[in-house]
Chains A and B, each alone.
Chain A
Amino acid sequence: MMKRNDLLSEIQSRFKEDIIELFDKSSHRVYLEIRPGAIIRVAAYIFKDLGARFNIASGIDTRSHIEILYHFTVEAIDLLISLRVKLDRKKPVIDSLTPVCEAANWIEREIFELLGVQFTGHPELKRLLLSDQWPEKVYPLRRDYKEWDKTAVRDRGTK
């Protein structure tokens, strides 16, 4: 296994065009901001070639962007690499990682329903947690989410 700093410079030279910013937070945490178009290339290299484990992805609505972080752990050297992509808030679209790494299947479905991100190439992009009664295009983790009237859902079957 490569040493930590060798590994980082290898990633940097390999994806020179795709990396926007590298933030070396601490000895075990690195944040890499990349262009959204390059996500499959970079993630596939980290997951397949470096043998990292896919921890999870986490989405956040920062008001200016929809931001997704893909967390990978290189267990042999205890390094957590988080790939950051910033998507347009009006039309958040990104390539799906599921064909590369099966582990991303469910979390992409979750981000799709909670934040409204479209993952192109996902084999089965449907809801994971929210019920069928939840209205379309209402995303609970968006900052502009408004409570909607749930009385009808609550009382179904009682009348």
Chain B
Amino acid sequence: MTVAVQTDAEGYLANKDDWSEELANELAKELGIELSDDHWKVLNAARAIESESGASPGLRKVSKRSETPIKAIYKLFPDGPAKLIAKIAGIPKPKSCL
């Protein structure tokens, strides 16, 4: 099943307003992730940083803000956490190298 929502060529949400918690759950499922409270802590932190600063954060900032160690983030979002978090949180591709 494919989620019917517009994304850019790399798979990031095209319109921020399309995002909802339900959509995030569906997007996550499509990426092979079942969202738990721990996932949400990380996703909410990423969304909060993006909305405050206007810049999609890298992992280091998300880790600090969500008080989730880097190691735990890689367990929650294996296989490219920086990309997966941005895609599921409905924010653009991170602009940070860290």
Chain A bound to chain B = no
| Interface residues in chain A, defined as those with a beta carbon under 8 Å from any beta carbon in chain B | none
